[in-house]
Structure 1
Amino acid sequence: MSTSYIAIIGFLMMFVIIYLLLKQKVSTMFAFSVIPIIGAILVGMSPTALGNALEKGLGMTTPVALIMLFSLPYFMMMADTGLFNEIVRKILRHVTITPPVLTSLTILVAMIVGLDVSITSIYIIAIPLLLPFYKKLKMSPMLLMFFTTLGVINTFDVPWSSRMLRAASLVPEVKGGTISLFSRMFPTQVVFTILLFVIAIVIGLRIQHQNKKSGEAVTDDSNDQDAAESIHDDPELARPKLFWINVLFTIFLVFCLVAFPTVPSYYVFAFGLVVAFAYNYPNIKMQNKLLKKYAKSLMPVMPTILLSGVVVGVMQYSGMMKAMVNVLLNVIPSSLGPWVYIIIALLSTPLMFLFTNDTWYYVLLPIVISIMKAYNVPGEIVVVTLFMNMGAMLTPIAQPQIYIGTNMTGDAITVPEFIKKCMLPIWGLSIAWTLIGLALGAFR
């Protein structure tokens, strides 16, 4: 078969997967496990070749799926023990709420709650908790939604997040997986986090000045003890007496991930899960009950991550990927070739209105990675540059949880209003992220 025919099948397969997922015609698991097989048949792969491609593709994603199998339940269990809630309570007990404090606190609370990598829980906890303060200080709920969303974005790259696991599955040759990717992004993350808090403080100070000018300044001398105590834990699952043990043990696990890269990350989390279960919930029946509860969060994300290996395996070992890249290299002007991944990064926010998270990572990125190899840009560089797809937090197609966020404001704002108001600021921050990474050398 000709190279052009194989490339056409590859592009059609990519288009069909994106179309079906955007239109929600089929599940992601169906799209990833069935459509590539049809593509493989159309390009004439033999059963033996197809079997080898599937084995190699699934082999790339199995370690990543195993990380999720153990890491997600671990952090969900820590949330059940009250670990994250207690951290937020300790902060609230020691601060006096003013506009600049509140805007900064919104990002911080979202980041802390987001350590369990659940966008849903961030919106459900942070917005109802902080909304009364926004109303009290005459601040728009839109700002609450905006800064909470920035907190969500700033937790995208924790090593156990589904995004990082997806990203790591694209570069299986990189030792350390998610830890390696996180380490490469960390300097950029530090500068970007500082930028977020600077923006929050500046906006908060401006609102405080406006309130004073209009005579609407509000003070609060109570250090907001009531707010701290309004955060309730599950009485059956909370383990307040083990708070510091859980903090130290979690720090120990993170240290092991960084200090011992040769130890599989999924084993570190497996070890952490079983040990933390043993001292937090020694009753076996309770452990089984919680595992069943956490299993619901593993579906369908974990199988999706695993089955993404089918797409990668078929595209790579059928010759589709190579043929598609050759076609694109002939179309892209040679002067722009080395900068393709940077251009896509700068346009990533509006582009996310055309993609889901899965199609961004498993359809677009593999093609860009292959294109950039022709210009000697390592796959790891492409992945970290295109990783922070912030536009996902503006479209319900990629992130339906934003409906939850807007609803938590008491219908004070709608999703279309949120998109309209926050599109340009978030796009600007996405560009800033890319430029910071380039300046620090992380994306070059």
Structure 2
Amino acid sequence: MLALLGLGTIVALLAAILSKRMSPLVALIIVPVVAALLGGFGLQTSKFAIDGLRNLAPVVGMFVFAILYFGTITDAGTLDPIIDRILRAVGTRPTRIVMGTTLLALLIHLDGSGAVCFLVTIPAMLPLYDRLSMDRRVLAAAVSLAAGINFLPWTGPMIRASASLHLPVSALFNPLIPVQLVGLVFVFSVAYLLGRREEKRLGTAGLVSGAPLPQRVLSDDEKALRRPRNFWFNIILTVVVLGTMVVMGEKVPPAMMFMVGLCIALMVNYPNMEMQRRRIDAHARAALMMAGILLAAGVFTGIMQGSGMLKAMAQAAVGFVPPSMAGHIPVVLGVLSMPLSMLFDPDSFYFGVLPVIAEVAGQLGVPALHVGQAALLGQMTTGFPVSPLTPATFLVVGPTGIDLADHQRFTFPLLFGASLVMTVAAVVLGVFPL
């Protein structure tokens, strides 16, 4: 009975989110509360929800202050010299242009926002692609690969996986660092091959001189916020914050590092109290929207676990998985995670599907950690730039002026290849034991 109630709760959650009848925040709260009340848990429901919220506090804190930190140093122009140098260096050779596009998108996506990455990179590079008659699908593929390979600790999929499985971000991310490096090698190799292909297609037309270099135009408000004199200070501060988080993540909570880093960045770049308030206000909306969803997810996972529905579903599902196949669950999920981005939006997968898979795997002796890491190798990481379920996809096809179907046909195999390469790397490097 409890297993059926849990299954009905998951189905209702997915239906509410995917049909857009409820926002993810509303669905993650209302659906499990109603289910728990129908299951006869009464006032215990509130205890389950509070326990879930308590477990998520460090993750929510890290996400909020990471968004504020990266927003502040970006406002200060920390990435401007690096971006301008890349734009000057690409020249008019297609191979260098495609690789420069990939590097530029990778740097801009450091803040974890696919929308910002696409809205900055594509308009900056598109005039050069058009001047040389390069295939716009290559531009879309290059930015998609760069953004898709990014599952840094403060990105949405990583935060969701950490929240839904109640695992520290550092435990999920640190073992995946060498896997991500392998993915980066693959991405830049593909960018090089795409550029070479364009050179062969265009012949000497791809090497014409006199093509205008891509330009970035800053608004007056953006110029007023720039602090070029603090470039090296901001770079060193960022390296210290991220380095401490990766190396000492078990001893120093990531949330604390971003809190301290934000305070220092604000005091140095914007010493005036009113300017500090405006910088926080400028980025608070993005931070609080995601924080609200994460807290709602805490209610959902807290009720599902506290009521025993999750465990009951897992016990019922265990009988369908041959024991000999249990150890392969992470590898299978790693292979399927990218295509699953076409079926599930990030909230419904990470908060609705992933906990069930992890619980089933746990019943068979496979750590939830490996399940979460497998999902991160494709589910709304490499998968999100081609998924029709994410608005960011339309920020790729819109500015480039290509059809969604054309973009998916051209880019899907490349992104799927990146996911497969990282899955194989995870096996070879021992992240997923066989």
Does the Cα contact within 8 Å between 2:94 and 2:206 map onto a contact in 1? no
Change in Cα spacing, 1:296 to 1:59, as seen in structure 2 (3 Å) is same
Q: Which of 364, 367, 373 is the equivalent residue of 1:375?
A: 364
**Alignment of 1:164 onto 2:151:** no
Residue 154 of structure 2 aligns to which amino acid in structure 1?
Answer: W
| Preserved contact between residue 89 and residue 231 of structure 1 (Cα < 8 Å) | no
Report what 2:173 is aligned to: 182
Aligned residue for 2:183, secondary structure, equals helix
1:267 to 256, 261, 267: 256
Aligned CA distance change for structure 1 residues 295 and 229 (closer, same or farther; 3 Å): closer
1:284-363 to structure 2, matched below 5 A, reads 284-363=273-352
Which whole-Å CA distance do the structure 2 matches of 1:307 and 1:60 have between them?
12
1:95 positional shift = 4.4
Unaligned segments of structure 2, at least 5 residues: none
Deviating more after overlay: 253-262 vs 70-79: 253-262
The alignment status of 1:25 with 2:17, answered yes or no, reads no
Does 2:222 match 1:227?
Answer: no
Asked if the contact 2:115/2:392 (under 8 Å) is kept, the reply is: yes
The aligned counterpart of 1:278 is 267
- Contiguous gaps of at least 5 residues in structure 1: none
| 1:73 and 1:291 in contact (8 A); partners too | yes
CA distance in 1, matches of 2:215, 2:119: 16
Matched residue, 2:61: 66
Aligned counterparts of 1:359 and 1:192: Cα–Cα separation in 2: 26
| TM-score, reference length from structure 1 | 0.91
Q: Distance in 1 between matches of 2:52 and 2:199?
A: 55
After alignment, is 415-424 or 56-65 more displaced?
Answer: 415-424
In the TM superposition, residue 184 of structure 1 has moved relative to its aligned partner by 0.8
Q: Deviations over 1:210-248 (max 9, x none)?
A: 322xx42324489x7x53565668111111111111111
* Equivalent pairs, count: 428
Distance 2:33 2:202 in 1: 62
Contact 1:90 1:228 in 2 (8 A): no
Partner of 1:116: 111
Q: Does 1:249 align with 2:237?
A: yes
1:181-227 deviation line (CA, Å, top 9, x unaligned): 22110111111111111111122112212322xx42324489x7x53
Distance in 2 (alpha carbons) for counterparts of 1:348 and 1:263: 31
> 1: distance between equivalents of 2:333 and 2:365?
17
Q: Which residue identity does 1:167 align to in structure 2?
A: A
- The 3-state SS of whatever aligns with 1:55 is helix
Flag the 1:339–1:258 CA change in 2: closer, same or farther, 3 A: closer
> Given the alignment, which residue of 404, 415, 420 partners 2:409?
420
User: How big is the alpha-carbon RMSD for the aligned residues of Structure 1 and Structure 2?
Assistant: 1.9
Partner of 1:76: 71
Q: 2: distance between equivalents of 1:291 and 1:383?
A: 32
Q: Distance in 2 between matches of 1:83 and 1:97?
A: 26
Describe how 1:96-111 pairs up with structure 2 within 5 A. Answer: 96-111=91-106
CA contact (8 A) 1:382 1:443 kept: no
Shift of the alpha carbon at 1:426? Answer: 2.0
- Once the two structures are aligned, what percentage of the paired residues are identical? 26
Distance in 1 (CA, whole Å) between partners of 2:102 and 2:350 is 26
Normalising to structure 2: TM-score of the pair? 0.94
Structure 1 match to 2:197:
206
CA deviations 1:421-440 (Å, max 9, x no partner) are 32233223222221121111
- Please name the residue that 2:383 is paired with: 391
